[in-house]
Chain A
């Protein structure tokens, strides 16, 4: 079964530092997403990406965040000047054109200290 792969699985970062979360979506999927889940809360949408550009972003996704697809396989989320409240699980997801067969990765647990 094809998977969405996320690295690292855990990341501890000093407040104020930059962090890059990495994802390898399923190879024939064209839509890519980042979601966030603060401990004990629901999954929240951050950003969607299609055709090498952001197609939609939430109010959470401010100038502190950016996404990139640096090559044909990776999809990254960069968080600059991290804050304590950025601590959460970050999930990458992808889906093909048509239908809503989103596949989520196992997540990166980000802890800001």
Chain B
């Protein structure tokens, strides 16, 4: 089993739709979680950190479920500019700070 798993997609959704991505992780000791977005082989850019209580930033909501070991990202009112690959990142704390990236979920928002 991969340490971090994401559905690769692609998710094709119309503008204005709500879309949700999940990401599962295998290390129950993981402490830090993030969502990044990446456009067409450019550098990943932080979208948001994921906190235990869940957090929201505008149209984006991130949730953490430690019991089931997954994190989620919800995008409301999708825009064309949201088209990108979304990467989930989990930090495995085993005395050092090693990051594991999911392979990403592709989102295409259609006009």
Is B one of A's binding partners? no
Interface residues of A (CB under 8 A from B): none
Interface residues of B (CB under 8 A from A): none
